Each structure stands twice: as C-alpha cells, then as structure tokens.
Amino acid sequence: MKAALALFLRAMAACSMVALGSASSMAQPPPALSVKPVVEKKLKELPSGPLFWRVETFPTLKDAEAATGPAALAAEISGKAWLFTLGAQGGATAGGSKVAEIGPVPPVQAPEYLLRINHASGPPGARTPPHSHPGSEAFYVLKGRLGQRTPHGVVHADAGAAMNGHGADMPMEVFSAGPVDLDQLVMFVVDATRPFSSPARFE
C-alpha cells in the first residue's frame, strides 16, 4: 500500500513539473526582432514630386557607392551590394539591377530629413515592441515572411515582395510571420529633428 502511494505521489509530482514547465514556456515573451541601422544621410530638402524608393543591386559596394546620388544610400547587406535611391518613379541607375520600386512614399514635412536603411532579421515569432516613427518606412523582404500590425489591421509580405509604409506617427508592430527566419531591408524617410523611434500603443 505504501509503495503504491509513493508511486502515485511521484507520478503527481512529475505531472506538476510538466505543467509548470509548460506554463513557464507559455509565459515566455516572444524573441525581439533584431534591427540594425546600416547607413543614413541627412537632407535639407527632398526631391520634388511623388517619391519612390528604388532598390538596386551592384556587383560591388564600391560600384554602388560610385553611383550614389544626393538622395541615395549604398550599403552591403546579406552578402549583396545595394543602392537605395529616393526619387521619381521609373528611374534607373547605370550599372545597377533594379530589384524593387516602392511607393509612393507618404509625404513628410520637416525642417531637415533623415534617410536611413536598417537591416532587420529574426526567427519565427520575433517582433518589435509597438512603436512609431516621425515619417514613413518601407520594406523589402529577402527571406521569410514579414508581418506588420497597425490600427488598420495586419498585413504581410513574403520573400521577394515589398511593402510600402504608412505616414508619420503610425503605431506599429513588425514581426517575423513565417516558418523560417525573416531577413529584410527597411527604408526610412523621417523628420531628423525628432526622435527616430518612440514607444506607442494600440488603443
């Protein structure tokens, strides 16, 4: 009888440990999306007219840097040399291969502008905290699936696709929505006189 009771108590203890472990893993917050600034530039004025981000690749970073115009930024990300140009729709840069054209960029009014390229990556489920920017951001997905939550709902973009940004001060949460790691390029046009990112919440 004592032996049977001891076995029963051990079984109950094991079940409790499993339940506690499950509860603990369920309580774990999702991993943070890795977001790294790569290159940026300040401008007193933006090009005129409706603006688009033109994303191109070049054989080398040196080639991309040589082709950089006043409203363009060159960077090496995920093993490729990139040129990101803010300008009119339909443009092209000599020596480059066009990958995407994203826009029109929501208008931003500011005494000074910041153009910035970020590289964001993370495993499935990784996400940013809710935040906003004093301008717009646009995305190009290299690998995985991007998710973005705003007060307008949730939208997604898969590898090889682009997503245009919202206007300034839009609350958002960006996350890795696919079964494989997310790898993406992020292009910003923001007010350089304000904090680049601010905490936000969804009402």
Same domain, 9 and 100: no
Nearest to 170 by CA among 127, 201, 129, 125: 201
| 134 and 102, same domain (yes or no) | yes
Residue 176: the pLDDT is: 98
Pair 17, 108 in one domain: no
The domain of 176 spans 31-199
- 58 and 143, same domain (yes or no): yes
For tokens 């839009």, the residue is: 170
Tell me: do 86 and 3 sit in the same domain.
no
User: Which pLDDT does position 160 carry in this prediction?
Assistant: 98
Q: Based on the fold, state whether residues 66 and 7 are members of the same structural domain.
A: no
18 and 71 together in one domain: no
**pLDDT for the residue 3:** 53
Residues 166 and 184 in one domain: yes
Average confidence (pLDDT) over 97-104 = 98
Q: Which residues contact 138 (CB under 8 A, 6 or more apart)?
A: 53, 102, 103, 105, 162, 163, 164, 165, 186, 187
When pLDDT is averaged across residues 64-69 and rounded to a whole number, the result is 98
Q: What does the pLDDT read at residue 25?
A: 45
Q: Are residues 104 and 134 in the same domain?
A: yes
CATH number assigned to the domain comprising residue 152: 2.60.120.10
- Provide mean pLDDT across the span 114-137: 97
Q: How many domains does the chain have?
A: 2
For residues 115 and 37, state if they share a domain: yes
pLDDT at res. 95: 97
Residue with the larger pLDDT of the pair 182 and 18: 182
pLDDT in tens, 19-36: 444 444 456 788 999 999
